Amino acid sequence: MSAATEIQFYDIPSKTKSNAWSPNTWRIRYALNYKRLPYKTIWIEYPEIAPTCKKIGAPPSATKPDGSPYYSVPFIYDPKTRKAISDSIIIIQYLEKTYPSSPERSLIPSGTWALQLAFIDALFAPSVVFPLFQFAVPRSASMLHETSVEHYLEARRELFGGRTLAEVDPKGEDRVLEWKKVEKGFGVVNSWLKPEDRFVGGEQIIFVDFVLVSVLRWIREIWGEDSSEWRDVSSWNEGRWGNLVKDLEEYTTVL
C-alpha cells in the first residue's frame, strides 16, 4: 500500500519506548490494527494540534468554556475519501461505515451503538474510572516532552481545581483511600460482566473493549509492568484486567 493511500493517524509522542501513551488515541490505534487498515502515525506535539487540524480540515472536537474551538487528538485524514475526522467516537463510526468488517468482526455490532456510548459514559463516571485520573494525569505529564506539558495540563485544569500537579497526586493515607476507589471502580465494571466473559460483549471484541483496554494500558505504561500498582490492577477481579491487556496484545503494533 503506497503512503498516499494510508490513513494518517495523529498522535502525541512521549518519552516512552513506543512513543504512544494516550488512552484517547490508543482506542483508535487498536481499532485500526484490528481492522487491518493501512495507516501511518504522524507524531505531533500538543502545540501543533490546532494548526494541523486547521490545515487538514479536521474539525474541533469540543468548545472551550470561553466559546473558542478545542482541538484534540485523535484525528485522522483518510486520503482515499479525502476526509478529515476528529474525535474517537466519530472516527470509529467513520471507520466502521467506510471499511465495514463482517458482522462477527464489527466493532459496532447492529443495535449496540447507543449501548456502547452509554458504557463509555458509565466507565468514566466519578464512581468508576474517574478516581484514576488524579494518579494518572501527573504521571502522564512527566512522560511528555517539555513542549507539550503545559497544553496537556491546560485541558485538564478542571480536575485540579487550582491545585498544583504535586497536590493532585494523592499521598500517604489519602493515597491508600483513593487507590481503594480505583479498585472499587474496576469492581463496578467487573459487576457488569459475567465471570466467563473475555470481552465486554462476551466472545466478540467491540469498540468499548478498546476504550477499556486503553485505560488499562495507560496504567501499565505510567507505573511500568513490574510496579506494585500494575500488579494490583492486573490481579483485581480474578486477573480480568491483566488478561484483557494480554488478550488484545496482538493489536498493539505502533505503525
Least separation in angstroms between CB 121 and a copy of itself: 5
Please tell me what DSSP assigns to residue 59: P
Using CB under 8 A as the binding rule, the residues of this chain from 191 to 210 that contact a copy of itself are: 191-194, 197, 200-204, 206, 208
Would you count residue 213 as binding a copy of itself (CB under 8 A)?
no
Contacts of 79 (CB under 8 A, 6+ apart): 4, 5, 6, 7, 8
Using the minimum distance from each CB to a copy of itself, give the nearer residue, 31 or 123.
123
Using CB under 8 A as the binding rule, the residues of this chain from 101 to 160 that contact a copy of itself are: 109-119, 121-123, 125-126, 128
What are residue 41's DSSP bridge partners?
Answer: 9
Stretch that binds a copy of itself, among 42-50, 137-145, 185-193, 216-224 (CB under 8 A): 185-193
Using the minimum distance from each CB to a copy of itself, give the nearer residue, 123 or 136.
123
Using the minimum distance from each CB to a copy of itself, give the nearer residue, 48 or 209.
209
CA distance readout (Å), 235 to 190, 239, 240, 244: 12, 4, 7, 11
Using CB under 8 A as the binding rule, the residues of this chain from 38 to 97 that contact a copy of itself are: none
Q: Examine residue 69 and say whether the peptide bond preceding it is cis (omega within 30 degrees of 0).
A: no
Using the minimum distance from each CB to a copy of itself, give the nearer residue, 127 or 164.
127
Least separation in angstroms between CB 124 and a copy of itself: 10
Least separation in angstroms between CB 51 and a copy of itself: 29
Using the minimum distance from each CB to a copy of itself, give the nearer residue, 42 or 90.
90
Least separation in angstroms between CB 141 and a copy of itself: 27
Sequence letter at residue 65: P
Least separation in angstroms between CB 200 and a copy of itself: 5
Query: CA-CA distance, 111 to 58, in Å (whole number)?
Result: 28
Least separation in angstroms between CB 79 and a copy of itself: 28
Would you count residue 188 as binding a copy of itself (CB under 8 A)?
yes
CA distance readout (Å), 118 to 114, 154, 189, 190, 228: 6, 27, 13, 16, 32
CA angle 88, 91, 93 (to 5 degrees): 110
Contact indicator for 67, 60 with CB cutoff of 8 Å:
no
Using the minimum distance from each CB to a copy of itself, give the nearer residue, 124 or 160.
124
C-alpha cell at 106: 464489527
Backbone angles phi, psi at 75, to 5 degrees: -140, 155
Residue found by looking up cell 496504567 in the block: 219
Nearest to 211 by CA among 86, 110, 87, 99: 87
Least separation in angstroms between CB 158 and a copy of itself: 14
Q: Which residues bind a copy of itself (CB under 8 A)?
A: 109-119, 121-123, 125-126, 128, 188-189, 191-194, 197, 200-204, 206, 208
